[in-house]
Amino acid sequence: MPIEADLHLHSHYSDGIHPPARVVEMAAGAGLKAIALTDHDTVEGIAEALDAAPTGLLVIPGVELSSDYRGREIHLLAYFVDPDDASLRSALRRYREDRATRAERMVARLNQLGIPATMDEVHAAAGAGGARERASVGRPHIADVLVRRGAVRDIDDAFARYLGRGRPAYVARSSISVPDAIRLVRAAGGALVVAHPGLNLAEGDVEALVSEGLDGIEVLHPKHAEDQRRRLEAIARRAGVIITGGSDYHGPGRNRHDLASAGVSMATVASLRARAGGGR
Ligand code: AMP
Ligand code: ZN
Ligand code: FE
Ligand code: FE
């Protein structure tokens, strides 16, 4: 099936490089018919993406929520949410504030370890067009600073030595529970899908998670191996949920996969829209 829709894209409001308008422009240039902007824990970029959408390119308001399930950090992709929904916005604002506080604590830990880094640098790395309070600050931004300062070789090294769970500069942050995510997204008119389960979940856990009330599984993701893809597809079919996909593109240098390197057809977009808000 041809890739018509890339349902997983990041902008500079989270850890992507480009402003939303640039992401939209690239998607149009790639000949896509639909995209979803799915920044981590924020919908700050949605309005700009919608404004930039040319005729013939559908921009689906989305968000990638950080959650946890059976002790694992997982990501949930919400689609067709109302970006102006008050409950959604206030929940996301709390997570954003928590991310900023947590980044400060991580920088303090790095400093205690003798590694000079400042919150100014982290905020600069977080981008958001210079609007600090609108950025969803995360470990990738701190990793950027460490790379730039030559304290680590690359992003992976930064996580392996300092930022990964259990490493000396790691600080946990609060994340939404799966039932709360389902309630919040449904109330905001959206559908909810588990992101790249091949990266962090056992297959039995994917099945259990989906049965909590998700609408789909992100089967098509650049980091899923072919055999993983096949097994996840089988789980989705058994559970009667939608097979979704996207490239998880963050911009040059942030990962090794291109925009539109994974995705779905417009028929899948229609199925998602039909499930949004709890519809069947
Ligand atoms: P945060 O949301 O601030 O906790 O950061 C989590 C993000 O960091 C994930 O979405 C990944 O993109 C990235 N990440 C997590 N673990 C690693 C790792 N070992 N190497 C590189 N990036 C990672
Ligand atoms: Zn990301
Ligand atoms: Fe993710
Ligand atoms: Fe992502």
Q: Is 17 exposed, middle or buried (0-12, 13-18, 19+ CB in 10 A)?
A: middle
The answer, yes or no, to whether residue 186 has pLDDT greater than 70, is yes
Residue 31 pLDDT > 70: yes
Q: Give 67 Cα–ligand 3 centroid separation in angstroms.
A: 10
- Tell me which residue has its CA closest to atom 22 in ligand 1: 156
Do residues 271 and 193 make contact, with C-beta atoms less than 8 angstroms apart?
A: no
What residues are neighbours of ligand 2 (ion), with CB under 5 Å?
10, 15
Q: Specify the pLDDT at position 125.
A: 84
Report the mean per-residue pLDDT for the chain: 93
Q: What pLDDT, in 10s, does the model give residues 64-110?
A: 999 999 988 999 999 999 999 999 999 999 999 999 999 999 999 99
Residue type, 247: S
Instruction: Tell me the ligand closest to 251's alpha carbon.
Output: 2
Write out pLDDT tens, residues 121-173. Answer: 998 888 776 677 788 889 999 999 999 999 999 999 999 999 999 999 999 98
For residues 144 and 107, give the distance between their C-alpha atoms in angstroms, rounded to a whole number: 13
Q: Report helix, strand or coil for 213.
A: coil
How far, in whole angstroms, is CA 59 from its chain's centroid? Answer: 16
The helix (H) or strand (E) run that includes residue 157 is helix 155-158
Ligand 1 atom closest to Cα of residue 173? 4
CA of 233 to the centre of ligand 2 (A): 23
Residues with CB under 6 A from ligand 1: 40, 66, 138-140, 155-156, 159, 164
Of all protein residues, whose CA lies closest to atom 5 belonging to ligand 1?
A: 139
At a CB cut-off of 8 Å and minimum separation 6, what does 154 contact?
147
Tens of pLDDT, residue by residue over 204-229, are 999 999 999 999 999 999 999 999 99
